[in-house]
Structure 1
Amino acid sequence: MAKVPKLRFPGFTDAWEQDKFAKVLKTHQFRDYLAEPTEKGKYKIIQQGDKPVVGYANGKPFKDFHKVILFGDHTVSLYNPLQPFFVATDGVKILSADGFDGDYLFVTLECYKPKPQGYKRHFTILKSRDVWYTSNKDEQEAIGTFFRQLDDLLSLHRRKLEAVANLKKSLLQKMFPKNGEVVPEVRFPGFTDAWEQRKLGEVADFSKGNGYSKNDLIQDGSPVILYGRLYTQYEIVITEIDTFVERQEKSVLSKGGEVIVPASGETSENIARASVVENKGIILGGDLNIINVNKTIDPVFLVLAISNGSQQKELSKRAQGKSIVHIRNSDLQQVGLLYPTMDEQSAIGTFFRQLDDLLSLHRRKLEHLKSLKKALLQQMFV
């Protein structure tokens, strides 16, 4: 039975062909590839995640851009080369397919690659599968170029997201005083006074959330914040809640402006974080420490102080436990807090909140593009 994808570029109507990947794919020896160095005499080294996984192979760099790199039998990671780079023979394969454009082969493998399955031999699984493909070179080139451009757009937004995240990290280090100092390296114009220091217990009241766990979550109900979401979901200010429960008696409800700190976590470094609950009427679940500051402290500023710098380090040292660490309100009360005037606190809080909004914007764009690519892979392949 003839098959065609649901979505095609105009002008292409031929039925796609079917075969086994084992018959289509070819693997190549690394010694077959040589390349001239770049102007600076260097080659690119492929990276998977943060660690280089491809290095020298007898000093011969790979330069054939019509083939695809597969990271071994026990992985499904693919790499589409754009420039010469060194390859390693251990756990890495170079693939090609007769009659396949390089970019088209890459996106075809992306579409058909096995899902991660522990220590399964993914290349063996891949070779056993049927593959549907177009033998029309023009259609291959159109599809390959389209997804290459989409990948370039994804990479652009990843770089933008990384740039803003690095900017935020750098400015957090510069806009809060270093240990032993009472003024930060970078300040907004017009602020010159030394920062004051108090124990957090002198400028805030403390309480605890109550009840609820992941097992209590339902599709629709009263919004709730569980402590684990502070590690995975929320930024400086919590404005939108996406977890719900059936409200029970003795629930602790937010009044708006509370600072919450997880009472439990996996490491002492991770537990030293905080967020502001912006809205009223949000259920605050168990294992949340709740801080209500007085009029001398801006809640957003306090979140930044707790999550970074000397306060973060001090709070980390107070965390107790081994496999699970804990922070109590009594620990929070003893943390030393350096803070400037309310006007400077507000300026700092507003600035970093805007940076968080920019980070969220880039994340949404990136997720939208990922979803778009996933949908198009399903529509443009059989």
Structure 2
Amino acid sequence: MSNKEGTSGKHGDGRPLVPRLRFPEFLGAGEWTTPKLEEISVPINERVGARRLTPVSISAGIGFVPQSEKFGRDISGNQYRLYTVVRDGDFVYNKGNSLKFPQGCVYDLQDWSEVAAPNVFICFRLDSGYENGFFRYCFEKNIHGLQLKKHITSGARSNGLLNISKDAFFGIKIPTPKRAEQQKISDFLTYLDDLITLEAQKLCALKTHKKGLMQQLFPAEGETVPRLRFPEFRGAGEWKSTRLDELLFGHPDYGVNAPAVPYSEDLPAYLRITDISDEGYFLCDKKASVAINVTDENYLSEGDIVLARTGASVGKSYKFRKEDGKLVFAGFLIRIKPDPKKIDSTFLFNFLSTQQYWKWVGVTSARSGQPGINGNEYASLPIPVPPHETELSEQQKIANCLTSLDDLIAAQAQKVEALKTHKKGLMQQLFPKLEEV
């Protein structure tokens, strides 16, 4: 075997280096090799000079992004002439750290033709016989980061880049099979990515459909009848505007002010602004507790809705669900308790996602400092409700329709997450574990 292909790899116990999951046609294809990146690629150092190319940056989890899009402007300045010419198929390593890639990220350029990459990035091109797709997934799996950890002797420099040299980067080893197996793995994972993208697009379409439907099921600003109405209510008359506090049990109240502590079943679970998703769900994977004495009144109950009262999340809402368990809500949240004889809680919760509501939030929360809405201001929020004759029945019809859509959206979101988890699990088995080499 030539040095170009790298040496044969071995597990720590001397077993041949092969993945735990292999396609049938490669079961007898022998062990993988472990070439260094410098043995199977060439550095790219061609400068842009006077050419006019799009200056790009790299964002972890996204890939190539025009500087004008990422930073709001082209930041290349006088350094532009020294930027590196990168063409489709070339790889670029950005040694800036991120949560997803603490030791930097690597992406290959696709469907851009040519771009200008900052000269602090490390650019390279694979030799013939090596499939871009296979190495793309190697870098997605962070095979480089696992080896570069030992080369980081201090934090990021003033420019945000890690102190990783070119020699260290090109010295990483990548477990590699023959080209046919590289192609098979690449094609399979690309198919999975395409499937995930398709299902994510379906999820996006469902969310867009619900958003559009809500704008028609509630009267538009300045109107008294929704543009879309269920047949049995089309002659029921005009809707009316009612102050929120007229539809509640009591006045909006504030949560408890106390620091969060690590979650414990012996302590009350704590609901904070950061525990609420953009769709109004409880993010239970980040669950925390609160170490104070609480009463039953501090816990959320069926039908309760909480609203963020300050900061960038002001206006965000959450409707309590029994499956979320017993929750104490934090002081930066305001609770409202809808009176079921006057308003359906789910109907109200859906209204709190409309453009009409968010326009009110923008105006009401305006402050000289941090935006905010207090309990008295939330109490004055105008709520459009159907006429008295059909008040609850029409609300419930709308609520049931939107709940059905929410169920579809939740099921589709679970499908997307299941596919992502499936792909992650497969990647653990389709590539040998580096720590075993």
TM-score bin, normalised by smaller chain: 0.7 to 0.9
Deviations 1:255-304 (A, max 9, x none): 311111122222xxx41132221338432332221111221111111122
User: Measured at CA, do residues 73 and 249 of structure 1 come closer, stay the same or move farther in structure 2, by a change above 3 Å?
Assistant: closer
Deviations 1:116-144 (A, max 9, x none): 9753378946423121211x233222211
Alignment match, 1:287: 332
In the TM superposition, residue 374 of structure 1 has moved relative to its aligned partner by 2.4
CA distance in 2, matches of 1:315, 1:278: 24
User: Measured at CA, do residues 281 and 181 of structure 1 come closer, stay the same or move farther in structure 2, by a change above 3 Å?
Assistant: same
Aligned residue runs from structure 1 range 56-71, under 5 A: 67=89, 69-70=91-92
Q: Report the TM-score when normalising by structure 1.
A: 0.78
In the TM superposition, residue 200 of structure 1 has moved relative to its aligned partner by 1.1
User: Measured at CA, do residues 234 and 88 of structure 1 come closer, stay the same or move farther in structure 2, by a change above 3 Å?
Assistant: closer
Q: Retained in 2: the 8 A contact 1:16–1:132?
A: yes
Deviations 1:32-60 (A, max 9, x none): xxxxxxxxxxxxxx9975996399xxxxx
CA distance in 2, matches of 1:371, 1:321: 43
User: Measured at CA, do residues 150 and 317 of structure 1 come closer, stay the same or move farther in structure 2, by a change above 3 Å?
Assistant: same
Alignment match, 1:329: 375
Alignment match, 1:149: 191
In the TM superposition, residue 180 of structure 1 has moved relative to its aligned partner by 0.8
Alignment match, 1:105: 135
Identity level (%): 22
Alignment partner of 1:243 out of 287, 296, 300: 287
Alignment match, 2:30: 14
Alignment partner of 2:42 out of 23, 26, 37: 26
Instruction: Say whether residues 1:264 and 2:310 are aligned partners.
Output: yes
In the TM superposition, residue 149 of structure 1 has moved relative to its aligned partner by 1.2
The DSSP-based 3-state class of the residue aligned with 1:379 is helix
Cα RMSD, aligned residues only = 3.7
User: Measured at CA, do residues 237 and 371 of structure 1 come closer, stay the same or move farther in structure 2, by a change above 3 Å?
Assistant: closer
Alignment match, 1:374: 424
Deviations 1:143-165 (A, max 9, x none): 11211111111111221121112
The DSSP-based 3-state class of the residue aligned with 1:265 is coil
Aligned residue runs from structure 1 range 168-183, under 5 A: 168-183=210-225
Q: Which amino acid aligns with 1:272?
A: G
User: Measured at CA, do residues 148 and 315 of structure 1 come closer, stay the same or move farther in structure 2, by a change above 3 Å?
Assistant: closer
Q: Retained in 2: the 8 A contact 1:21–1:128?
A: yes
The DSSP-based 3-state class of the residue aligned with 1:271 is coil
Alignment match, 1:140: 182
User: Measured at CA, do residues 72 and 248 of structure 1 come closer, stay the same or move farther in structure 2, by a change above 3 Å?
Assistant: closer
The DSSP-based 3-state class of the residue aligned with 1:372 is helix
The count of residues paired between Structure 1 and Structure 2 equals 355
Deviations 1:92-119 (A, max 9, x none): 8573333213322322332324489753
User: Measured at CA, do residues 23 and 238 of structure 1 come closer, stay the same or move farther in structure 2, by a change above 3 Å?
Assistant: closer
Deviations 1:160-192 (A, max 9, x none): 121112222222223222221112222222223
Q: Which amino acid aligns with 1:265?
A: G
User: Measured at CA, do residues 54 and 113 of structure 1 come closer, stay the same or move farther in structure 2, by a change above 3 Å?
Assistant: farther
Q: Retained in 2: the 8 A contact 1:225–1:241?
A: no
Q: Which amino acid aligns with 1:5?
A: P
Deviates more, 1:360-369 or 1:333-342: 360-369
Q: Which amino acid aligns with 2:247?
A: V
CA distance in 1, matches of 2:87, 2:411: 37
User: Measured at CA, do residues 80 and 142 of structure 1 come closer, stay the same or move farther in structure 2, by a change above 3 Å?
Assistant: farther
Q: Which amino acid aligns with 1:105?
A: F
Alignment match, 1:41: none
User: Measured at CA, do residues 87 and 276 of structure 1 come closer, stay the same or move farther in structure 2, by a change above 3 Å?
Assistant: same
In the TM superposition, residue 320 of structure 1 has moved relative to its aligned partner by 5.1
In the TM superposition, residue 331 of structure 1 has moved relative to its aligned partner by 0.7
CA distance in 2, matches of 1:174, 1:162: 19
User: Measured at CA, do residues 237 and 78 of structure 1 come closer, stay the same or move farther in structure 2, by a change above 3 Å?
Assistant: closer
CA distance in 2, matches of 1:298, 1:89: 56
User: Measured at CA, do residues 304 and 98 of structure 1 come closer, stay the same or move farther in structure 2, by a change above 3 Å?
Assistant: same
Q: Which amino acid aligns with 2:194?
A: D
Aligned residue runs from structure 1 range 76-225, under 5 A: 76=105, 78-79=107-108, 81=110, 85-91=112-118, 95-111=125-141, 112-114=143-145, 118-120=160-162, 124=166, 126-134=169-177, 136-192=178-234, 193-204=237-248, 205=250, 206-213=252-259, 215-221=260-266, 224-225=269-270
CA distance in 2, matches of 1:148, 1:307: 36
Contiguous gaps of at least 5 residues in structure 1? 32-45, 56-61
CA distance in 1, matches of 2:90, 2:192: 18
Alignment match, 1:277: 320
Alignment match, 1:226: 271
Deviations 1:319-339 (A, max 9, x none): 254664322110111111111
The DSSP-based 3-state class of the residue aligned with 1:293 is coil
Q: Report the TM-score when normalising by structure 2.
A: 0.69
Q: Which amino acid aligns with 2:246?
A: E
User: Measured at CA, do residues 238 and 362 of structure 1 come closer, stay the same or move farther in structure 2, by a change above 3 Å?
Assistant: same
Instruction: Say whether residues 1:306 and 2:352 are aligned partners.
Output: yes
CA distance in 1, matches of 2:425, 2:383: 49
Alignment partner of 2:403 out of 347, 353, 367: 353
CA distance in 2, matches of 1:160, 1:122: 41
Q: Which amino acid aligns with 1:23?
A: E
CA distance in 1, matches of 2:65, 2:274: 32
The DSSP-based 3-state class of the residue aligned with 1:8 is coil
